[in-house]
């Protein structure tokens, strides 16, 4: 309950801040970002005493007390404003959405309205939703996906492989990318089962015409294994740490 008042204060006084983590293309173009910044938008909260708070501390309260749609609206509004200012240097920005937001018809209407009011190309936006959230209401998730894909937006299924029926539902979800569950990726260099899971998810994704993104690429050994498997993109400490979005853009432009 203490977090609820802090979140309300942050929403009213713009005390959230946008961070980002680079998503790197693997294969022949490994290490380069030839078309501009490709990143996942991350959220931080600045408390009244100036401390920076990670989402692991406040997002459980956001979900529990049904504040997710309001927080997601703040992120989309501010991410679009930032992208409009820098869109000639941005390739793709991925924005996480709560399952609560995806199932909210009013939220969808507000996102579409925000799209109408921005100069940002919609094909430079990718919305991420966790596999668990998508499975919670498959029909609502697909309605949301189809409405925004009609505008050109892309979708990624986050933490893919964490569910018991991942492959069974995949045919029914209109997504463009699979983000392989980091629990498999971070252990793939020393655990044959984790390696086999990453390989399997990537191969199934390719067969279905979807791009694959490996999270938690925390060492060069993991990056090398992912490259060898043909995984399309990777994200993790071995390739870049989260940073304020302006710093991340500047770093990308100077590489």
Q: What DSSP line would sit under 104-124, residue for residue? A: -HHHHHHHHHHHHT--S-GGG
10-residue stretch averages of pLDDT, the chain, 255 residues long: 90 95 82 74 91 93 94 96 94 95 93 94 94 84 93 93 73 90 96 96 94 97 97 97 94 76
How many CA atoms does the CB half-sphere of 104 hold within 13 Å?
Answer: 17
Non-local CB neighbours of 181 within 8 Å, separated by 6+ positions: 159, 160, 161, 162, 215
Size of the chain in residues? 255
Which DSSP helix (H) or strand (E) runs through 128?
strand 125-130
Q: Is the dihedral of CA 129, 130, 133, 139 positive or negative?
A: positive
The H or E element spanning position 155 is strand 154-160
* Per-residue pLDDT, 33: 47
Q: What is the model's pLDDT at position 174?
A: 84
Residues linked to residue 214 through DSSP beta bridges, in sequence order: 180, 234
Tokens of 110: 């507000």
CA–CA separation, 114 and 77 (whole Å): 7
CB neighbours of residue 231 within 10 Å: 26
pLDDT of residue 79: 97
Domains annotated on the chain, with CATH: 2-247 (3.20.20.450)
């Amino acid at each position: 309950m203490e977090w609820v008042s802090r979140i309300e204060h942050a929403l009213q006084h713009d005390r959230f801040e946008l961070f980002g983590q680079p998503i790197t293309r693997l294969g022949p173009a490994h290490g380069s970002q030839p078309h501009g910044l490709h990143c996942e938008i991350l959220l931080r909260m600045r408390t009244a005493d100036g401390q920076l708070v990670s989402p692991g501390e406040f997002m459980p309260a956001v979900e529990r007390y049904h504040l997710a749609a309001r927080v997601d609206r703040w992120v989309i509004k501010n991410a679009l404003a930032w992208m409009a200012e820098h869109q000639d240097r941005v390739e793709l920005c991925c924005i996480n959405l709560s399952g609560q937001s995806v199932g909210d018809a009013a939220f969808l209407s507000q996102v579409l309205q925000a799209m109408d009011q921005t100069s940002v190309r919609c094909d430079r936006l990718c919305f991420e939703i966790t596999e668990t959230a998508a499975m919670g209401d498959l029909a609502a998730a697909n309605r949301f996906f189809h409405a925004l894909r009609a505008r050109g937006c892309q979708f990624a299924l986050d933490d893919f492989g964490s569910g018991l029926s991942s492959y069974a539902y995949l045919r029914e979800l209109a997504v463009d990318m699979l983000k392989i569950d980091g629990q498999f990726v971070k252990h793939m260099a020393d655990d044959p089962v984790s390696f086999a899971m990453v390989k399997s998810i990537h191969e199934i994704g390719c067969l279905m015409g979807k791009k694959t993104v490996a999270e938690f690429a925390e060492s060069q050994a993991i990056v090398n294994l992912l490259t060898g498997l043909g995984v399309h993109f990777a994200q993790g400490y071995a390739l870049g740490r989260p940073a304020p979005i302006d710093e991340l853009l500047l770093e990308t432009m100077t590489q």
